[in-house]
Amino acid sequence: MPQEWLEYLQRLSWNTPMTLALASGAIGSVITLAWISARDARERRRQRRETALELALSLEGYARTCRTMMHKAAWAAAEPVGPIRCEASKGVSIPAFAYPDKLHWRVLSRRVISDLREYPATVHSAREYVDAFREFGEPIDLCGQVEYECAKAAKCALQLARATRRRHGAATWKPGAKDSSMERELSDFIKIAEEKRKASLDLLTESTVGRRTDAQPFTQPLSA
């Protein structure tokens, strides 16, 4: 059977109307499929850029919100000791974060989605830690903890937003004068805060060791 088809094709002239129609149909189908594929690819790239832009804008907006909360925490810590500081610290907390609804997540790669999805969980964990700290810590310590956690959350949000824009060809972030050095300021704040924490921990450790050294154990057994 294959041999018969081969002989038939060899006898078939390319100049016949049927042959020309078949060839034209095949070429037209190929062109149509290529055009549809190219159109779908363009649409997918457009959706990817738009989704990446929405995600980046959401993260950058959250970073600004965190920075505002840092200022609020600093103002609360500067209040006089007593009821005024306690009242001011009640409104100090890490802001909640959630991505916009109805995003086209399917146009992004699994790795990118994983990185982005982990961020809200990280923020939620920090919020729970601060809430627990609020219950037992002093207001001034709470304000310092909120400042520190907000700075870390804001810096991470900016880094994630920049990576999202770059990976998917979204427009580069062009912050205004107020936000132009925000990431550097956050990095400086985190570095200084961690140095203070380390110095405080070292001092506490030295003090504890010193108290243990000064304590004299009983050398004589108790008399019966």
User: In this structure, is residue 18 part of a structural domain?
Assistant: no
User: In this structure, is residue 101 part of a structural domain?
Assistant: no
Token pair 């594929």 in the structure block, residue:
37
User: In this structure, is residue 44 part of a structural domain?
Assistant: no
Q: Quick check: helix, strand or coil at residue 149? A: helix
- For residue 67, the enclosing domain spans 50-94+108-172+179-198
Count the domains in the chain.
Answer: 1
Q: Quick check: helix, strand or coil at residue 218? A: coil
User: In this structure, is residue 25 part of a structural domain?
Assistant: no
User: In this structure, is residue 134 part of a structural domain?
Assistant: yes
User: In this structure, is residue 87 part of a structural domain?
Assistant: yes
Percent of the chain with pLDDT over 90: 25
Per residue in 29-76, pLDDT (tens digit) is 655 555 455 454 556 667 788 888 899 999 999 999 999 999 999 888
Query: What's residue 197's pLDDT?
Result: 79
State mean pLDDT over 10-35. 56
pTM: 0.71
Look up residue 100 and give its two tokens.
């916009």
CB neighbours of 155 closer than 8 A, spacing ≥ 6? 63, 183, 186, 187, 190
Task: Round the average pLDDT of the chain to a whole number and report it.
Answer: 76
Per residue in 108-148, pLDDT (tens digit) is 877 778 889 899 999 999 999 888 877 777 888 888 899 99
CB neighbours of 154 closer than 8 A, spacing ≥ 6? 62, 63, 64, 66, 67, 70, 182, 186
Q: Which residue has the higher pLDDT, 91 or 33?
A: 91
